[in-house]
Amino acid sequence: MGLYDEILGPLLVGIFFNTYLYGIVTYQFASYHRANFNDRLVVKSVVAFLFLLDTVHSIAVIYMAWVYMVTNYTNPTALQFGVWPYPFTPIGTATAALVTHLFLGDRIYRLTHNKVLCGAIITMALPTFALGMANGIEAWIIHVNADMTRIQGLVIAWLSMQVTVDTFLTVTLSIILARAKTGLPTTDTVLRRLIRGAIQTGLFASIFSLGDLISFLLLPDANFYGMFAIPIGRIYSNTLLDTLLVREKLKMEMSSSAFDRTSRVMGWIPTTRVTPGAAATNLHIAVRSGSLHDSTDIVSSYDGEGKNISMNPV
């Protein structure tokens, strides 16, 4: 039982924690569907894709636990070989990370319209994804757990890059949103919650990535790195969905017009060029010169013949 405790113990902890996170993420997916947000197709596609990825990976790692603990309970030599969900883990994690990085990169672009900054994020995110895929493919080919040290260089490069991208996105988005504070309660409430979501996304993913890297380097023959590696994908999904679901509270605290305008600026819902008629004064969160602030829009009122008859502040 000593071999089982040493190798399977950390692995099972990772699988149990992953299953727990999958339960939370499933609840978030259901909440998102129930909320019926009028999101852009790309946002809905990201949510659906992450749900599919999380489901496949969570089922796969539970199957892996079955193979080790039930099918091969009396066959300790089976622990020397990796079951396919194990090498699939870096592939699934790299995919979830790429989707999250590009999603946050799109948000930064919508807030700043800085193509150079957006290009830098893509330039970092794509090689990070490629390194994660390379790790998974190499691990799949090696198959023998004791030989996984052969990909140590790839693991260091991948996880270091992933932490770097997470940190860069978190710091950049937090700075952009923090500089946009106006002192108005409604605006600052929105900004504080968006900053919290940005920090959560980078912080928790970085902690587990560093735990994965350190345990792999210090204890390559044990499965402690699996305890950190398996749940990372669910952490990305959990924090990304949290940034979308925060709108449920915002919707209750803001007027419908202000909420719709905020959603368009953040890229949650499709952008429309036409502002609804001369509505009552509402908070408008807009992006000007790389910052987010309250602004007053000027909209035109037209008579039946299409002639401009007045200019009203909205």
pLDDT digits (tens, 9 = 90+) for 17-59: 999 999 999 999 999 988 887 888 888 999 999 999 999 999 9
Using the Cα atoms of residue 66, residue 68, residue 72 and residue 73 in order, give the sign of their dihedral. negative
CATH number, position 133: 1.20.1070
- Does 135 score more than 90 pLDDT? yes
Structural domain total, the chain: 2
Residues 267-281: tens digit of each pLDDT? 556 655 444 333 323
Percentage of residues of the chain with pLDDT beyond 70? 73
One domain for residues 243 and 307? no
Question: Does residue 113 form part of some domain?
Answer: yes
- Does 300 score more than 80 pLDDT? no
One domain for residues 276 and 252? no
Higher per-residue pLDDT: 250 or 146: 146
| Tokens at 33, concatenated | 């569907």
pLDDT at 125: 95
Confirm if 82 and 54 have CB atoms less than 8 A apart.
no
Amino acid 9 reads G
Question: Does residue 200 form part of some domain?
Answer: yes
User: Picking from 123-137, 180-194, 204-218, which range would have the lowest pLDDT averaged per residue?
Assistant: 180-194
pLDDT at 195: 79
Distance CA 118, CA 71 (A): 48
Residues 6+ apart with CB under 8 A from 73: none
Question: Does residue 183 form part of some domain?
Answer: yes
Range of the structural domain that residue 298 is part of: 268-313
Question: Does residue 100 form part of some domain?
Answer: yes
- Does 309 score more than 50 pLDDT? no
Distance CA 312, CA 314 (A): 6
Element (H, E) at 124: helix 115-142
- Does 191 score more than 80 pLDDT? no
pLDDT at 280: 29
One domain for residues 308 and 283? yes
Going by pLDDT thresholds of 50, 70 and 90, the confidence category of residue 187 is low
One domain for residues 16 and 145? yes
One domain for residues 183 and 227? yes
Question: Does residue 263 form part of some domain?
Answer: no
One domain for residues 245 and 278? no
Question: Does residue 241 form part of some domain?
Answer: yes
